[in-house]
Structure formats: C-alpha cells, structure tokens
Amino acid sequence: MIHVLDLCQEPRSLSRYEFVDPIVRALKEAGAHVSTAHYTEGPPPRAARGAVLCGTALQDNGYAGDECAFSWIRDWQYPLLGICAGMQVLAREAGATLFAHTEIAFRDLRITAASPLLGSPRTIPCYHLHTQAVGLPPGWACLAGTPAYPEAVWQPATDRYGILFHPEVRNTWILSSFARLCGGAPANLLKPADETLGR
Amino acid sequence: MRLGMLFSGGKDSVYACHRAQAHHEVACLLTLSPKNTESYMFHTPNIRHTPLMAEVMGIPHVMWPTSGIEEEELSDLDGAIAWCAGEYGLDGIVTGAIASVYQATRVQRICHAQGLWCFNPLWQADQVAYLRALVNEGFDVIISGVFAYPLDEAWLGRRLDSAAVDRLVELRSRYGINPSGEGGELETFVLDAPCYRAPLVVEEASRTYHAYAGVYRIDRLGVGTR
C-alpha cells in the first residue's frame, strides 16, 4: 500500500481535488492500493510500503512551518516521493534549505542522470507550479536541474525522491514508476478511476 | 475565504462552483464576454444568459468585455479579476479548468501577481467519471455546441444523460475525442444544478450547423419551478 499525504492548508480542503486526488488516481491506475491522510493526521500507517508527499497551491506554504509533523520521515524505511512542496519537506529534512523561486510554466526539463524513478537521461515536458525551491541535500544526487536549483533529486541509499514539477500533468508514468518501486500491485489489479468524483 | 468564480455557464464552471461552495463563499461570478467567437480562453455559445444563471444561483455577476484575441484577452482577464477582487473583497479565484495547461498557467500567473489563491477543483479529473458525477448529482446539462467529427447536428440541444455519456465514451474509443469536450469538441449549458434555486427552461432555441460544427443558440430562456 502507498500512503498519500495531503500537504494542503487543512484536511479535506478545496485544493485537495487539485493536488491530491489526481495523484491518488494515477497510483490506483498503476495498480497500487492507496491510503490518504492530511499531514497533520500523523505518520503513514504500518501497512504502508511507500509514501507520496503531495504539492500545494501557490499561496499555501503552511506545511513549511510545521516541521514536527514530518519528524517520522527520519526513521521511515520505505520509498518516499516528494512532489513540489513534498520535495521541499523531504529535502529540508535531509539538511537542505528553502529559498524563494517562483515558476508557473509547462516547459521542457532535461533529466541528466539515470534513476529507477525517472529512467534514462532525456528531455520531458513538465508542469512547474511553485514559489519556493530547495537546495540539493548533502549526499543526494541531482537528476534534473542544477545543484543550485535541483528539479529532481534522489537519495539512493534510502530510496527517496523529490521532484519539483507536478507529475499528475502529462507525466503520470512517474507515479506508475513509483508504484513499481514500492512493490505496487500489477496493472491487472487496476481499480476504477472514478473514486475522486461524486462525493 | 471569499472566492470569485470564472464563469462561462458551461458544465465545468458550474460544477467547479458547486464544489467551491462546499468549502468557501463564492462571492461573485465573473464572465468574460469575447467579441471574438474563437476565443482561446473563454467559452462563447449562450454566454449572454450567464446573468440569469447567476440570478438562480443567488450570486452577484460581473460581465466583463474582452477582445477574445489570444494574449490580449489575458490582460482583460487580469483587469477583470483585479476589479472583482477589490469590489467583492476576494481571497481567490476558482476555475473549471480540467486539463488545459494554457488556461491554467495563465490564470495561476494572474492570481499569483495579485496575491490571490487559485483553485481548480476539476484539475486532471477523470473525464468519464466527471460526466457520470454530473448526471448522478442532478446537473441538467445540454450540449450547446459541437465542433468536431463525428459530433453531428443530433447532439445540439441533447441532454447529457447516462446514454449520452455512454455514447461519448464510445466515441472516445473510436475517434479519440475528449468526452467532456476539454479539447474543444463540444460546449455545454447548465439548465439546473444542486446550486440553483430554480431550474432554467429553454423557451425558444435555434440550431446552426455545418460540417461537424454547430451551435444550439438559446433565443429565450426562462426560470421554471421545482
């Protein structure tokens, strides 16, 4: 099971439809079993074998002021994927610092190093939506961007990834790839993708 | 929060508004009325009926003129949002964007520059699940425009019911159309919704159609009773 953490300003917020539900849907379409909770609701459940920390709206940086809520990350033993705000949380836990950097664009990004999550070096189009970025944590590899402004990072020893762009836009294959890294269920266990609507 | 809704009268803006109202106050509906019917950003068929829609939704409405010419209309949108933010004390803007990165990035930039939140509650939604949710949750939606093969004249004015959704799903498999019209294949108009105080009734309408492009023009629209 993969645990998806909602980093938006409050549980069950209006932003959840935009930043959490598409991630959940993509993981389910990849065959993974998924649980979801707001970051203030505690660490992932024991059954989780991977976790995704989602992004937030541009105006929403509340998660950055709540370091205690993420202290479980230090001892977490399974793969982690931080998306945008989630990358900032992971990298900060690993000793990197946040800095202001606004980007609202859909543009090409060069993957410069191979990894199990992003595959071989190549250029992919990516959706960027952030007002903060984070430096490269010590001991982490930069997979895209530059060490001063990394856009994808990887800590191989702990299987932790951070991506500054939003994979739910045109790059859901990254979420499929993460589901595989977590030992997600095969595609023949695919569940209907209609669970984000109608509630 | 007090939010402004970018409002076209189509299903996406009405459904997004309905979702936003469950979390925040929607303080105004903002409709940009393009002179150019090929507007990149703003839906056009039957947009003149949005004031009546706002009335049955009980939300103040602002109709703002725009050139409808690519990029020029963004400066119109910027001005319209700034005016609404001041007039209605808005904290943010809601859009019905589903997959259009063009639309989303531009509205995000405008909101960010004005210090406003931007919400897209249908962003990356599964299109078929979304259409089924509309039907199941009591949205009375009609097709008000078709703009792609194989959508023919029979679709104009057709209700979006379960059979219509099934047919659109079939057409997606065979022809690759976006069933919710996100690729500009079709336009819609919402006659009733859970957020309406009373349903709207088409009293007179006309169709224009040629070569897989047509519009269902509502010539007279009234307010019905429940």
In this predicted model, what pLDDT tens digit does every residue of B112-161 receive, in sequence order? 999 999 999 999 999 999 999 999 999 999 999 999 888 889 999 999 99
Q: Which residues in chain A are contacts of B20 at CB distance < 8 A? A: 14
Q: A-chain residues within 8 Å CB-CB of B123? A: 17-18, 22
CATH number at residue B36: 3.40.50.620
Domain containing residue B201: CATH number: 3.90.1490.10
* Residue A153 confidence (pLDDT): 98
> Residues B143, B203: one domain?
yes
Within 8 A of B92 by CB-CB distance, chain A residues are 59
Same domain, B79 and B167: no
Whether B19 has its CB under 8 Å from any CB of chain A: the answer is yes
| pLDDT reported for residue B178 | 87
Question: How many CA atoms does the CB half-sphere of B32 hold within 13 Å?
Answer: 28
Residue B38 pLDDT = 54
| Residue A168: closest C-alpha in chain B | B124
Q: pLDDT averaged over consecutive 10-residue blocks of chain A (199 residues)?
A: 97 97 97 96 95 97 88 94 97 94 97 96 97 96 96 95 97 96 56 33
Name every residue whose Cβ is closer than 8 Å to that of residue A77 and which is 6 or more positions away in sequence.
Answer: none
Domains observed in chain A: 2-189 (3.40.50.880)
- Residue B37 pLDDT class (50, 70, 90 cuts): low
Tokens of B16: 């997004």
Please answer yes or no on whether B119 and A15 come within 8 Å at the CB atom. yes
Mutation target to probe the B interface, by most B beta carbons within 10 A, among A15, A56, A104 is A104
Question: What stretches of A38-194 show up as alpha helix (H) in DSSP?
Answer: 85-93, 173-181
Which of B102, B119, B136 marks a domain boundary? B119
Judge if B55 and B157 occupy the same domain.
no
Residue contact B121–A14, C-beta within 8 A: yes
What is the domain count for chain B? 2
- The residue out of B83, B101, B119 marking a domain boundary is B119
CB contact under 8 A, B126 and A193: yes
Contacts of A17 in chain B (CB under 8 A): 19, 120-123, 125
- B198 DSSP assignment: S
List the single residue in A14, A106, A196 with the smallest CB-CB distance to B119: A14
Considering the domain architecture, whether residues B93 and B143 belong to the same structural domain is answered as: no
Same structural domain for residues B14 and B104? Answer: yes
Among A59, A84, A131, A171, most B C-beta atoms within 10 A, so best to mutate, is A59
Chain position carrying tokens 């598409």: A22
Helices (H), chain B: 11-21, 50-57, 72-88, 101-113, 127-136, 162-175
Residues B56, B100: one domain?
yes
Q: What are phi and psi of A183, to 5 degrees?
A: 75, 30
- Which of A58, A60, A195 lies at the smallest CB-CB distance from B108? A58
The pLDDT value recorded for residue A184 is 52
How far does CA A17 lie from the centroid of its chain? 16
In this predicted structure, what is the pLDDT of residue A193?
31
Same domain, yes or no: B83 and B156: no
Name the residue facing A57 among B105, B118, B137 (closest C-beta): B118
Q: What's the pLDDT score for residue A188?
A: 36
A-B CB pairs within 8 A amount to 81
User: Distance (Å, rounded) from C-alpha B1 to C-alpha B24?
Assistant: 5
How close is the nearest chain A Cα to the Cα of B211, in Å?
31
Residues B27 and B89 in one domain: yes
Chain B CB contacts of A129 below 8 Å: 108
User: Is B36's pLDDT higher than 90?
Assistant: no
Domain end point (choices B119, B142, B159): B119
Q: What's the confidence (pLDDT) of residue A65?
A: 86
Q: Determine the structural domain holding residue B152 and report its residue range.
A: 127-223
Copy the structure tokens of residue A56.
């937030």
Residues B132, B115, single domain; the answer is no
The reply to whether A103 touches chain B by the CB within 8 Å rule is no
B6, B108: one domain: yes
Same domain flag for B74 and B25:
yes
The shortest CB-CB distance from B19 to any of A14, A60, A170 is to A14
Q: Which residues of A117-141 are buried (b: 16+ CB within 10 A; e: fewer)?
A: bbeeeeebebbbbbbbbbbbbeebb
Co-location of B169 and B213 in the same domain:
yes
Q: For B158-173, write each residue's pLDDT tens digit.
A: 999 999 999 999 999 8
Residue B40 has pLDDT above 60, yes or no: no
B46-97 pLDDT, tens digit per residue, is 899 999 999 999 999 999 998 877 778 889 999 999 999 999 999 999 999 9
